[in-house]
């Protein structure tokens, strides 16, 4: 509720953006950061700088953490655990789902409520209409602080398993980082024949945006429902056809003398689907081999 006091620990670009959004919403915010100078801007904007992590913990009903990883939370709060009972910790730092589950047990052992989240937009977009954040953890804890969290971005609650928010975050980053690597690989590929990155990206970046319409006629719901039912119908983009293309990309990369790790991984998905007898199925059949990898 609006009467809840807020502490924000971790003032990298993300933590600073969150503090600014909370201050703009009229909330009072206590902050702490290992490197105190990083608090200068938010203090000038009205935040209160705590001298120690223990003081920061004492000042907030809701303690939001925005750190490089979960180890940083233990480093910072390790000497302040006595003050955690009854507090609600919201850790928005990146880490593996298993680390976040372990942290939820740690927080519970110290009498704190624990919610974990994954911020899905870059720092400058925090607090705007475009911002959204996945959360997981106990539903009643989440609902009790929902209005605070909504200041940072639209809150999407996934369920009580604390690992879910980071799993969802990483699934999106899986797509993002894969796309970025394929963009640079493709740029290097055409670059080997003298096509500039500038000329290539003028065509290739809009192509990325056209991909959703190519994934399936019925949109994500229809494609997803078929995959959920283990059905891979379709004859326009079969695993055999896509696999041949994947092999051609590997061959072209070899000929160009550039790294083949990325296209080889892609080609492996299709080779496996074909070997398992899914060659005439839709390309989505590659998920079967991804789910059940061979050594």
Q: Which of 11, 57, 104, 145 binds ligand NDP (CB under 6 A)?
A: 11
**Total site size for ligand NDP, rule CB under 6 A:** 21
Q: Within 221-250, which residues bind ligand NDP (CB under 6 A)?
A: none
State which residue, 106 or 283, has the beta carbon closest to ligand NDP: 106
Q: Does 91 bind ligand NDP (CB under 6 A)?
A: no
Distance between alpha carbon 103 and the CA centroid of its chain, in Å?
Answer: 18
Q: Cβ contacts of residue 235 below 8 Å, gap of 6+?
A: 280, 282
The window from 71-79, 133-141, 146-154, 262-270 that contacts ligand NDP (CB under 6 A) reads 71-79
Q: Does 15 bind ligand NDP (CB under 6 A)?
A: yes
CA distance 99 to 166: 10
Which long-range contacts does 131-134 make (Cβ < 8 Å, 24+ apart)?
Answer: 132/156, 133/92, 134/158, 134/164, 134/165, 134/168, 134/169
Q: Does 75 bind ligand NDP (CB under 6 A)?
A: yes
**Residue 134 DSSP SS3:** strand
User: Shortest approach of ligand NDP to residue 240 CB, angstroms?
Assistant: 39
The window from 31-39, 140-148, 183-191, 255-263 that contacts ligand NDP (CB under 6 A) reads 31-39
Q: Does 117 bind ligand NDP (CB under 6 A)?
A: no
Q: Which of 72, 165, 246, 266 binds ligand NDP (CB under 6 A)?
A: 72
Which single residue brings its beta carbon nearest to ligand NDP? 12
- Per the structure block, which two tokens stand in for 8? 């924000």
Contact indicator for 64, 6 with CB cutoff of 8 Å: yes
Q: Which of 19, 20, 30, 93 binds ligand NDP (CB under 6 A)?
A: 93
Where in the chain does DSSP place strands (E)? 6-9, 29-32, 48-49, 62-65, 88-91, 113-119, 132-136, 154-157
Determine which helix (DSSP H) or strand (DSSP E) holds 78, and give its type and residue range: none
Q: Which of 29, 77, 107, 119 binds ligand NDP (CB under 6 A)?
A: 119
Residues that bind ligand NDP (CB under 6 A): 10-15, 33-35, 38, 66-68, 72, 75-76, 93-94, 119, 122-123
């Amino acid at each position: 509720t609006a009467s809840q006091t807020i502490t924000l620990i971790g003032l990298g670009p993300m933590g600073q953006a969150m503090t600014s959004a909370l201050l703009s919403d009229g909330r009072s915010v206590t902050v702490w950061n290992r490197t105190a100078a990083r608090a200068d801007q938010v203090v000038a904007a009205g935040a209160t700088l705590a001298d120690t992590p223990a003081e920061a913990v004492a000042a907030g009903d809701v303690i939001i953490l925005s750190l490089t990883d979960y180890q940083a939370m233990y480093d910072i709060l390790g000497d302040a655990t006595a003050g955690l009972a009854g507090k609600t910790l919201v850790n928005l730092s990146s880490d593996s789902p298993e680390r976040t589950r372990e942290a939820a047990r740690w927080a519970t052992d110290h009498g704190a409520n624990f919610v974990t989240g994954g911020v899905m937009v870059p720092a400058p977009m925090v607090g705007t209409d475009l911002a959204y954040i996945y959360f997981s953890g106990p539903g009643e804890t989440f609902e009790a602080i929902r209005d605070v969290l909504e200041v940072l971005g639209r809150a999407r609650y996934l369920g009580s398993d604390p690992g879910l928010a980071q799993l969802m975050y990483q699934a999106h980053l899986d797509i993002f980082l894969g796309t970025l690597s394929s963009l640079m690989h493709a740029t290097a590929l055409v670059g080997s024949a003298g096509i500039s990155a500038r000329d290539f990206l003028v065509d290739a970046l809009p192509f990325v945006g056209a991909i959703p319409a190519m994934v399936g006629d019925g949109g994500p719901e229809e494609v997803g429902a078929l995959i959920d039912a283990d059905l891979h119908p379709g004859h326009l983009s079969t695993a055999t056809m896509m696999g041949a293309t994947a092999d051609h990309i590997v061959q072209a990369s070899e000929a160009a003398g550039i790294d083949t790790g990325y296209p080889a991984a892609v080609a492996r998905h299709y080779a496996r689907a074909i070997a398992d007898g899914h060659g005439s199925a839709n390309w989505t059949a590659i998920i079967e081999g991804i789910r059940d990898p061979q050594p």
